[in-house]
Amino acid sequence: MNVPKTWIFDLDGVIVETAQFHYKSWKRLAHSLDIPFDESHNEALKGVSRSKSLNIILELDDREVSEKEFQRLMDKKNGWYQNYIAELTPDDILDGIPEFLDTLKERGAKLAIGSSSKNAQYILDYLQLTETFDAIIDGTKVKNTKPDPEVFLKGAQAVGEDPEDCVVFEDAESGVEAANRANMLCVGVGSEEILGDADLVIDSFVDMSPEDLLEKLS
């Protein structure tokens, strides 16, 4: 294993628990359309784009809508979602992450964000984390979202790193697949059952130093 020089973090569900805001907003939209939607449908929405998410929801009930209506539904969901994220503060950064990022910075590692979200920059600003990262690749900068590897390959490219020298942190099945396709090491953050294709799965960053993690990976 190459010791990673660049550490690429997914945002939603890894740095901050915004996955619940996406879920609540999609649920509200689905229910307004009389489409049954609960936690069991939600896993497939993690890591994928806003439009793919809406397609998945509409397919649950074989619905077809016009392009204009599709855009209106995405905007409605995003409005609700943006109301939630506007409340975020640095206190919402997930436990263990600030220490983990600080240690990496002290060691001179390069840090990047690899997120499918078009709201990533707002979230990083609310969390006061924008300056922490050397590169921020988000849904506004890629054509193909996860499981396509584009977001991570662009992250590596932005800091001048080879993919083999990068490690990715992901909470979504689609993100683990993207990291594998990018030929990068991958650490799943969450459940082994869902993220089993990662090189290592951890519960959280609490009491986890970069050294602990490298030892587990090797």
Binding residues for substrate: 10-12, 26, 45-50, 53, 77, 115-119, 146
Question: What DSSP state is assigned to residue 43?
Answer: G
Rule CB under 5 A: say whether 12 interacts with Mg ion: yes
Rule CB under 6 A: say whether 22 interacts with ligand G6P: yes
12 catalytic? Reply is yes
Distance CA 41, CA 44 (A): 6
Nearer to ligand G6P, 119 or 132 (CB): 119
H helical segments located in 16-85: 19-32, 39-42, 50-59, 67-85
Nearer to ligand G6P, 184 or 210 (CB): 184
* Binding span for ligand G6P by CB under 6 A among 46-54, 87-95, 96-104, 199-207: 46-54
In this chain, which of 8, 27, 30, 50 binds ligand G6P, going by CB under 6 A?
A: 50
Say whether the peptide bond before residue 147 is cis (omega within 30 degrees of 0).
yes
In angstroms, the Cα distances linking 178 to 44, 114, 150, 151, 212 are 14, 10, 8, 8, 24
* Binding span for ligand G6P by CB under 6 A among 44-52, 159-167, 176-184, 193-201: 44-52
With 0-12 / 13-18 / 19 or more C-beta atoms within 10 angstroms meaning exposed / middle / buried, residue 137 is buried
Amino acid identity, residue 49?
S
In this chain, which of 47, 149, 155, 190 binds ligand G6P, going by CB under 6 A?
A: 47
Residue numbers at the binding site for ligand G6P (CB under 6 A): 12, 22, 45-50, 53, 78, 115-119, 139, 172
Catalytic residues: 10, 12
